[in-house]
Structure 1
């Protein structure tokens, strides 16, 4: 189980409508929404990994400490929610280093995991990313979605945990089901809100039982918040992707928590820290 901790105005769907420089002018809703998620996990006895923006941690440090105090894994979603495929290697290194420092300073625990904003890591566009993550002290990434999509995706990447670069971190890809000659998404997000729940449950059970693999589920705090503000000027497609199924999301999440056993990514996938590098 994983949560990408970002606020409603930071999503990629609105990147062309809401400038990053204006973020501080919006009323934050991430703390209240994440607290609702923490309460739901506590009721279900579930533990999760919270991939958290450094930007959020700087402004909501008490929330980050509550996540850790509840027994969840704290991981990095980068600092400023910028696409890795667009910012390049140097700025990527600066972004993940800053986020790791902020998160660790706030929470007092090591941060080993990373998820790229909008799954913007892949072998074609960012072949250096897993190596840079290792050099900056991370142990694993959960950033590759092996599907075809207009905004992201690496359909030819392995569907199971692997190491894309011998000098880099382990990659835990988003869960897919192989059917109809292609990989179909069974990981969460908008796909989960659109898909009939019994179909999603069947796909995840197939991954568990037929393939013997854990599934990775992800969602965002804003997805349990149907009362969030509208975004004037956003494209119709972007508004649809962002808002579809929000009213039913919390109930569907409760069903998912009952139907499967959920744990932290570092524990489910046994993601031990990388050995310390020894300088020659």
Structure 2
């Protein structure tokens, strides 16, 4: 089973009267438990691809499957429910609610879940704050926390819904080098411990260095697919319908 499957997806936007094609004929499949980087320059389409996987946006054409469920034609409410049960989000700006404590921020997405009791919410909040090393800061508000601590709260919040997929949009961009390395190591540990799929939109070489799968996007198309084995990349370069294997290389 694929946790995400994308089949011949196109995404167009209107910029004034002009149609802009952000993604062109994307076909991909990711197995559960991958630690995957979607890389590419600004404007390449990587964030658009992440938003489609996250059911924040819908394709102009093509199919997207989440845990083998076709999400085509689902209503906004149905997509919101799918996100709240299946997909955790981590953002570069943390997106924490400033008036809430760390514990309350982690609990917040669970408040929309009628199937999660208050007792279960408390259990999950305590558990995931402990996982990210912030139990002692549970009552602190975001302005009382460092950047790295705020990102740890965001990770705990993403995990609290027990997602099969965590999407991270440039999660290290607003962190210093040391803190960014610590956050990436934490996410890698969580990936291995819980077999949670992590999908990053990034141009950070540190993220790519820790990934075990790589998708490079250029001009709305996939240019490189990579699989890491024994600290080396096996890369397939895709150009004009042709694929050229480049084994034993490392993506920088």
- The question of a shared fold, defined as TM-score above 0.5 by the shorter chain, is answered with no
- Structure with more of its chain in strand, by fraction: 2
Larger radius of gyration: 2
- Structure with more of its chain in helix, by fraction: 1
Higher RCO (Cα < 8 Å, 6 or more apart): 2
TM-score, scaled relative to structure 1: 0.34
TM-score, scaled relative to structure 2: 0.36
